[in-house]
Amino acid sequence: MSVDQTQRSIRCLVAKVGLDGHDRGAHVIARAFRDAGFEVIYSGLHKAPDEIVQAAVQEDVDVLGISILSGAHNTLVPKVIEGLEEYDAFEDTLILVGGVIPDEDKAELKEMGVAEVFGPGTKMADTIQFVRENVPER
């Protein structure tokens, strides 16, 4: 006898990683995700990759959005991905990167397992729709 009423909600971690103090964009995204009905966990500033991994694993998020405006994405993103793999969390987490990412780095990030890179000028509605369409089935 089952009366389970599934009450699923898309969970996102919005993460600031490394020495980058610009969090306005992350706040705007967090708010927009909230208004889209997602549950948003915000990491706070200046987090190390393993802190992001710990949060993503324990919070069991569907989406990990990493905001980087410092230019250190080629160093930091691989560390986060390695950490997720270590805890078997890589496969079913949708990884997004936002911020100032040069075009020539985008392909490389996607190669590593980043689902999409959102640069300046991206419409909020597009990001939200991308999440809705690509959130991993569990």
Q: What Å distances lie between residue 37 and 9, 31, 47, 103, 131, CA to CA?
A: 8, 10, 25, 31, 12
4 sits near another protein (criterion: CB under 8 A)? yes
Among 50, 72, 85, 134, binds another protein (CB under 8 A): 50
The two structure tokens encoding residue 136: 């991993």
Alpha-carbon distance of 30 to 100, in angstroms, equals 18
User: Which of 59/105 has CB closer to another protein?
Assistant: 59
CB of 7 to another protein, least distance (A): 5
91 sits near another protein (criterion: CB under 8 A)? no
CB of 125 to another protein, least distance (A): 14
90 sits near another protein (criterion: CB under 8 A)? no
